[in-house]
Amino acid sequence: MGLARRIIPCLDVKNGETVKGTNFVNLRSAGDPVELGKAYSRMGADELVFLDITASYEERKTFTEMVTRVAREINIPFTVGGGINELSDVERLLYAGADKVSINSAALRRPELIEEIAKRFGSQVCVVAIDAKQDLYPETDGEARWFCYLKGGRERTSHDLFEWAHEAQERGAGEILFTSMNHDGVKQGYACEALARLSGELSIPIIASGGAGCKEHFREAFTKGHADAALAASVFHFGEIPIPELKQYLHNEGINIRL
């Protein structure tokens, strides 16, 4: 059956509190990240992701303190991201207790950072997050293509999703966290076609993100999208899908999942 598929709650942190939006905007509060993380750990989440979504200097300090609190109180692996631009940022967060780091904009700007992290700390520490949007642009002759975005989805690049994911793997990424901006917070399901292509073309694990609205969407991410893990936020934060219920459902559907 292969490795067990993972369920990963994602906590976007701003000014020390968890927030959630739709299509990367319209943020609302979802509670204390450490308390939420503890609750998810008790419920059976396999891993957690904490993202510092504003990452200015002062907030970065607050975020590091939060990482230390999380490490002290939570016994499942967790990844942290946001504002990581150099090895010293990685070192600071790993020293605070994180298991992995997630890099996005910095990796697009300077891909060598992936190699540096992998060489210094090991590939398993380096998660390359890709925020991508499928759209029609004049330069694609009317063909819908997936483009990667910088700065929390605010700035489009010329990077193609699949080409960039390949390069990230070649440079030493341990996992790809793919968020479809088209699907984020809309709760209509994950981008399964793109996920299936990523999973088929790459040898490292793919984490699906963006679009979870019901238990069936998680099943589709694993069966149609062949994702190794499924990440979600609002359906967990606001109690719409209890994790134990979700895992039992997936198990009953024949998906290898840790109960």
Phi, psi (degrees; rounded to nearest 5) at 158: -90, 0
**3-state DSSP call for residue 182?**
coil
What is the model's pLDDT at position 237?
86
What is the model's pLDDT at position 7?
98
d(CA 187, CA 184): 7
Which member of 12, 89, 184, 228 is catalytic?
Answer: 12
Is-catalytic flag, 32?
Answer: no
What is the model's pLDDT at position 83?
87
What is the model's pLDDT at position 189?
94
Q: What is the pLDDT along the chain (259 residues), one digit of tens a residue?
A: 578 999 999 998 988 888 866 554 556 666 789 999 999 999 999 999 999 887 776 777 779 999 999 999 999 999 999 889 999 999 999 999 999 999 999 999 999 999 999 999 999 999 999 999 987 665 656 678 899 998 777 788 889 999 999 999 999 999 999 999 877 766 889 999 999 999 999 999 999 999 999 999 999 999 999 999 999 998 998 899 999 999 999 999 999 999 9
Which member of 52, 131, 184, 228 is catalytic?
Answer: 131
The single-letter DSSP state of residue 4 is P
Tell how far CA 16 is from the center of its chain. Answer: 19
Phi, psi (degrees; rounded to nearest 5) at 181: -65, -30
Conformation bin of residue 247: beta by default, left when phi > 0, alpha when psi is -120 to 50? alpha
Is-catalytic flag, 46?
Answer: no
d(CA 116, CA 103): 12
Tell me the H-state helices in 74-191: 87-96, 105-109, 112-121, 161-171
Instruction: Please give the radius of gyration of the chain, using alpha carbons only, rounded to the nearest integer.
Output: 17
